[in-house]
Amino acid sequence: MLLLGCAAGREPVTPEIPADGGTPEQLRGILEDLGDRADAAAWVLRGRIHARLRENEGPEGIVHLSAGDGADVEVLAGAAAPAAKLESVGRLVRHLRERAAAPGLCRTRFAEPLGLPLRTHLLRSIVSHLSLNLGNEERLRSLDDLAASAQKLSETDGAGTEAREFWLRKAGAAAREARDLRAGIEEVDSSAEERAFVGMGVTRHLEEAGRAADGATREMAARGDRVKVVDGYLRSLEHYVLARESLHAPTAAQDGALSKMEIVFSSLSSLLSPGGGR
C-alpha cells in the first residue's frame, strides 16, 4: 500500500462548503475567495467544489472535470492529511475511468488507428498506479482493465509483429499479477517509481514527461534495447496525459511543454509499426 504522507505545518483559515452542499453561486464564491492560494487546504477544497459544480451543471459542467482533477493532483503532491489524499485519489481514479469509457471527456487527442486504444491504455495505466492506494479490489479492477487494453492494442490495425508481441507480453504480465493477487500470492505494493508518480504535481509531471522521452530517444540513438525505448516513451506519455487531462487552462509554458507530446506519440507510433525503428 502506498503511504500517502501526513499533514504538516499551519495553514490559513479556509472557508467551508455549506452543510447543504451550497448553491453553484456560493461554491463559485468560495473559489473566488481562495484566489491563487496554493496550500493543501485550498487544493482540497477546490477538488471538492469542482466535483460538486460538475454534478450540479450536468453536461455543461465538463469544464470542472479538468479543473477538479488538477486540484486533486496537487493534493496528492502536497501536505494534505491522509484522509484528504485518499479522497482525492479515489476521485481521480473515477474520473480517469470515465474518460477511458467516454472518449468525448478527454482533452488528449492522438491520431488513429493507434490513438484511441493507446489513450485508453495510458489512462488505465495511470489508474493502475493510483489504485495502489485503494486496496485489493480496486487494484484487481485496474489490472483486469490494463490487461484488456493491452490485448486490444495487440489487435490494432497496422501493428507490426514485434508490437503485437510487446502488447501481448504487457497483457500477460497484468493478467498474471491479477491472478496472483486473487490467489493471495501477491499483496498490493508499490515501487519507488509508482510512489513518485502518485506524489507529483502537474508541473513535475510535465518535467518527468520530457525527461522520460529524452532518455528513450538517447536509448534509441544508441541502438539500445527497443523494449526500453518503447517503455520510456510510454512512461513519458503517462505523465503527459495526466497533466493534459488535469489542466483546464494551461499557461503558455505548459502549452509549450504539452506540444512535445505529439512528437513522443509519433516516435512511439513509428516504433510500433511494421519494421519501425529499423
Q: Check if the beta carbon of residue 43 is closer than 8 Å to that of residue 77.
A: no
87-111: pLDDT as tens digits: 999 999 999 999 999 999 999 999 9
Q: Could you tell me if residue 272 is inside a domain?
A: yes
Q: What is the DSSP letter of 73?
A: H
CA-CA distance, 239 to 241, in Å (whole number)? 6
Same domain, 71 and 159: no
pTM for this model (two decimals)? 0.91
Which residue, among 246, 191, 192, 238, has the nearest Cα to 212 in the 3D structure? 238
Burial class (CB in 10 A: 0-12, 13-18, 19+), 68: buried
pLDDT at position 15: 84
pLDDT at position 133: 82
Same domain, 20 and 132: no
For 134-162, give the secondary structure using H, E and C: CCHHHHHHHHHHHHHHHHHHHCCCCCCHH
**CB contact set of 24 (below 8 Å; sequence gap of 6+):** 53, 56, 57
Same domain, 258 and 273: yes
Helix (H, G, I), strand (E, B) or coil at 273: coil
Same domain, 85 and 189: no
Q: Could you tell me if residue 250 is inside a domain?
A: yes
Same domain, 117 and 243: yes
Same domain, 60 and 127: no
Q: Which residue has the cell 453553484?
A: 24
Q: Could you tell me if residue 99 is inside a domain?
A: yes
CA-CA distance, 149 to 132, in Å (whole number)? 19
- Counting Cα atoms < 13 Å in the Cβ hemisphere of 84 gives 23
**CB contact set of 157 (below 8 Å; sequence gap of 6+):** 113
Instruction: Tell me the CA distances in angstroms from 13 to 20, 34, 244, one per residue in order.
Output: 21, 10, 31
Q: Could you list the pLDDT tens digit for every one of the 278 residues in the chain?
A: 444 544 445 556 778 888 788 899 999 999 999 999 999 999 999 999 999 999 988 777 788 999 999 999 999 999 999 999 999 999 999 999 999 999 999 999 999 999 999 999 999 999 999 998 898 899 999 999 999 999 999 999 878 899 999 999 999 999 999 999 999 876 656 678 888 999 999 999 999 999 999 999 999 999 889 999 999 999 999 999 999 999 999 999 999 999 999 999 999 999 998 766 55
Q: Could you tell me if residue 3 is inside a domain?
A: no
CA-CA distance, 204 to 212, in Å (whole number)? 12
Same domain, 124 and 35: no
Cis peptide before 113 (omega within 30 of 0): yes
Q: Could you tell me if residue 41 is inside a domain?
A: yes
147-166: pLDDT as tens digits: 999 999 999 987 889 999 99
Same domain, 137 and 54: no
Residue 14 one-letter amino acid: T
Q: What total number of domains does the chain contain?
A: 2
Tell which of 105, 137, 157 closes a domain. 105
Instruction: Tell me the CA distances in angstroms from 116 to 232, 243, 249, one per residue in order.
Output: 20, 18, 23
Q: Could you tell me if residue 2 is inside a domain?
A: no
Which residue, among 173, 174, 172, 167, has the nearest Cα to 114 in the 3D structure? 167
Cell of 77: 503532491
Q: Check if the beta carbon of residue 102 is closer than 8 Å to that of residue 65.
A: no
pLDDT at position 5: 47
Same domain, 40 and 52: yes
Q: Could you tell me if residue 1 is inside a domain?
A: no
Host domain of residue 236: 108-278
Same domain, 128 and 184: yes
Tell which of 105, 130, 159 closes a domain. 105
pLDDT at position 187: 65
Same domain, 132 and 231: yes
Same domain, 50 and 81: yes
pLDDT at position 1: 44
